[in-house]
Structure 1
């Protein structure tokens, strides 16, 4: 009788261990989900739309293009030289057209004509969104809903609206003669780096020019 009791006791202990080890991964998963949701909810409070904080937190466009990131982070084969021009511009940057159909939308009823990026030393410094001028008001309304009231309008005679934060800027411009508009997102850190590199290049040039005269 004692041996039989020990037999059932050992079987019960084995079953208890199996239940415990089976339950642990599930408990860990549940805890992970709970902690993850708490993190998301906490950050969602600071990422509310309608403020410059959201512009900084978004740091790009539609979650598919991030400012400051390497150009290689974009899907392979989706980039082509803008207008077929592979030369660097005056800021030593290269412009690319981003040929990803799902990126060609801004909100529910705004279709973009083109999305382009500008890279400095392979890092994305600008994102360009081109759209038809007939959507001008809808684009402005969309940006205000996302990033709050624009922080600057240079004058009453030009259709330019700017949102300036410490890390990211956005400029919305209408070109009536061309019947199009463009929104330009800029990484301010890279913009400052470009300007600093240009100033260093100018100083080197004048230093070399002066040395040739002596």
Structure 2
């Protein structure tokens, strides 16, 4: 009897470890609990726009260059578009945007700029606190500026009493790091070529 128990023990241990590994793999684990930065990372954007992803065909049809036709890339080699829906854009759970701008690098979304009426600022803050938990920083105690900072997504929410519009900026941290590394490399090459 003891011999059978010892024969099955390694099999059970191995199977237990496999089950634990599967439960912690991305396919089996939860996408992030609401009310946490993990949920911000899992959502990875807003209003159907996903950071790091490509624009859908429908989204591309509703885009125009922010600086007019044939807009040239900015200093970071990014192109910014404005999204023109027929009416105010319904984001999620009653939030609306007056307009959205999308900044891309090599056709991948780096930033999503969500503009909204200032009077919706508290509603936006309330939803973000519900979805993403307590903000990680508040740069100024006297201004309505809030920052959620995770490893892969940053979110800045700002609305001021003096402005008509508020803004929420979603940023892809990995793409921003790649752009910064590219810029540093270009600067180094430029400096070494001028010596």
Provide TM-score, normalisation by structure 2. Answer: 0.77
Indicate the structure (1 or 2) with the bigger Cα radius of gyration: 1
Alignment partner, residue 50 of structure 2 = 66
Unpaired runs of 5+ residues, structure 1, are 1-41
- Aligned-pair Cα RMSD in Å: 2.3
How far residue 76 of structure 1 moved from its aligned partner, in angstroms, is: 3.9
- Return the alpha-carbon distance in structure 2 between the equivalents of residues 209 and 133 of structure 1: 48
* TM-score normalised by structure 1 residue count: 0.71
| CA offsets 1:151-176 (integer angstroms, 9 cap, x no match) | 11112123210001111110101244
- Name whichever of 122-131 and 104-113 sits farther off: 104-113
Distance 1:168 1:88, change over 3 A: same
For the pair 1:49 / 2:27, whether they are aligned, the reply is: no
Aligned counterpart for 2:114 among listed residues 129, 150, 166: 129
Which structure shows the higher helix fraction?
A: 1
Q: How far apart are the structure 2 equivalents of 1:171 and 1:144?
A: 12
Contact 2:88–2:96 (Cα < 8 Å) also in 1: no
1:12 corresponding residue in structure 2: none
Give the match for residue 144 of structure 2.
Answer: 159
List runs of 5+ in structure 2 lacking aligned partners.
Answer: 1-26
C-alpha distance 45-201 of structure 1, shift in aligned 2 (>3 A): closer
2:63 to 68, 71, 79: 79
